[in-house]
Structure 1
Amino acid sequence: MSDFSILSLIAGIPGLIIAMVVHEYAHARMAVTLGDFTPRLMGRLTLDPRAHIDPIGLLMLFLVRFGWAKPVTINPNNFKQPRRDDILVSVAGPAANLIIAFVTLFLLVLFTKYAGRPSSGAIYVLRLIIIYNINFAIFNMIPIPPLDGSHILRELLPRDLAYQFDRLERYSFLILIVFLMTPILDWVFVPMQKMIWQLFTMLLGIFF
């Protein structure tokens, strides 16, 4: 492995950890806010990485760019409006990633314009934080079980179709592997990334 690859892995650690922790914490916080205290009882209402990171999932992220965190367990029966609230909990994770990505971009632009250009190393780390958080948001919105997008789709479907959709979960790992090995992923990521950057550019235009 080249020095560049090693440096890239090291520089990516903050971005990966922040993306995973913020994502899972947002799920937990939204669930608790909506009346389900299961995440709090299970110790997930924290920004401590140890509560959210799955060591094997993190290692896989570094090795093959596909990994996972410990999923936040919720009990929809505790929600006042289970279908709506399950959607809100599912959206919370990707939304938090996008917020972190934009705030990081905002700070990077702010420092560059008013505090002098940061070091190349700092810029690289900040860029990876932005990229990883955007990618986490997009990937988790894909409607394949058990990703967040599948929860949203399931709750929007009529009950009979939702039941059939749930049966796909037993094949979810195989479906994800096939998905990752085809150009379909690029067809999803590229337009979504462009749309998000356009949104960020528009928002930055409000401040600068």
Structure 2
Amino acid sequence: MDFLQRLLWYPLEHLPFIVIVLALAFTVHEFAHAWSAYKFGDSTARDQGRVTLNPMAHLDPIGTLLILIAGFGWAKPVPVIRSRLKYPRLMGIVVSAVGPLSNLLLAVIGVALYALFAYTGWLSGASIGVTEAVRVFLNYLISLNVLLFIFNLIPLPPLDGYRIIEDLSPPRAREQLDRYAQWGVFIFLLIVFIPPLRAVTLTPLFGLSKPIITGLFSLFGLSVQVH
């Protein structure tokens, strides 16, 4: 057990909650891309069976395993042919943005459930074990989805933030971005997998999750101490 815990990024006893939350977060994120692309004129994702909430259509085994081990991972990217979209640049921005926004929505739902239980006392009669399980699940539902919201907006390929910047850029700048995209992927991998680089880039960026989570709780009249 100690050996397995050393391999994992998260506490071993929380692994079931992590797996459920990540499966939900990745599935909803990729479904949002696929559904919006289909609605705006590109049926590529639908033709590949990606307009579905079935996690098996979206989860990447290696990407899911890595997030458990390294705190970083990915799902299967949804194929989008932007030239098929109505108003390709505008709709391209929307298709890219709905993925991260879907994660933010899941975090809001998690906070809403927290508020529901706090104000109604529905869990007051539950056992300590049940109460703790619900608390842990909601904490991960909120925190991981906020992190995914932030992470996917980083303007480096292959993340959604890069696609948004690409679609916002004028044609000449877009050509330059495409030319250097392969280097962007390399920079992205260096930032993720080299601890010193990660410490000065991703770690401060992920620090934004604290005020976001605090703000979400305040919307529902709740205060929370985010660690």
Q: How high is the TM-score relative to the length of structure 2?
A: 0.84
Aligned to 1:11: 17
> Which one-letter code corresponds to 1:189 in the other structure?
F
Structure 1 residues 18-53: Cα deviation after superposition (integer angstroms, max 9, x where no partner): 110010000011111111111111100000000000
**1:143–1:150: 8 Å Cα contact kept in structure 2?**
yes
Alignment of 1:127-166 (within 5 A): 127-166=139-178
CA distance in 1, matches of 2:31, 2:142: 18
Using CA pairs under 8 Å that are at least 6 residues apart, name the structure with larger relative contact order, 1 or 2. Answer: 1
Change (3 A) 1:195 1:5: closer
1:190 lines up with 2:207 in the alignment:
yes
For residues 139-173 of structure 1, give each alpha carbon's deviation from its aligned partner in whole angstroms, at most 9, with x where no partner exists. 00000001000001111112121111122332344
Mapped to 2, the partners of 1:167 and 1:8 lie a distance apart of 43
What is the correspondence of 1:36-115 to structure 2 with a 5 Å cutoff?
Answer: 36-114=42-120, 115=122
* Structure 1: gaps (5+ residues): none
Which amino acid is the alignment partner of residue 167 of structure 2? E
Distance 1:58 1:169 in 2: 24
Q: How far apart are residue 130 of structure 1 and its match?
A: 1.1
Q: Which residue of 2 aligns with 1:123?
A: 135
User: What is the Cα-based RMSD across aligned positions, in Å?
Assistant: 1.9
Q: Secondary structure at the match of 2:221?
A: helix
Amino acid at match of 2:221: G
1:88 aligned counterpart, secondary structure: helix
Provide the C-alpha distance between the structure 2 equivalents of 1:15 and 1:122, rounded to a whole number of angstroms. 12
Give 1 or 2: higher helix fraction: 1
Contact kept, 8 Å, 1:145 with 1:168, in 2: the verdict is no
Q: Distance in 2 between matches of 1:149 and 1:104?
A: 24
CA distance in 1, matches of 2:180, 2:29: 24
Ranges in structure 2 where 5+ consecutive residues have no aligned partner: 125-129, 223-227
Distance 1:172 1:51 in 2: 27
**After TM superposition, which residue ranges in structure 1, 4 or more long, deviate above 3 angstroms?**
1-4
The alpha-carbon distance between structure 1 residues 79 and 173, as it changes in their structure 2 partners (threshold 3 A), is closer
Q: Give the letter aligned to residue 129 of structure 1.
A: L
Distance between the aligned counterparts of 2:167 and 2:136, measured in 1?
A: 39
Between stretches 8-17 and 45-54, larger displacement belongs to 8-17
Q: How does 1:18-37 map to 2 (within 5 A)?
A: 18-37=24-43
1:174 is aligned to 2:186: yes
What is the one-letter code of the residue matched to 1:33? Answer: K
State the distance in 2 between where 1:77 and 1:63 align: 38
> Following the alignment from structure 2 to structure 1, what is the Cα–Cα distance between the partners of residues 179 and 158?
11
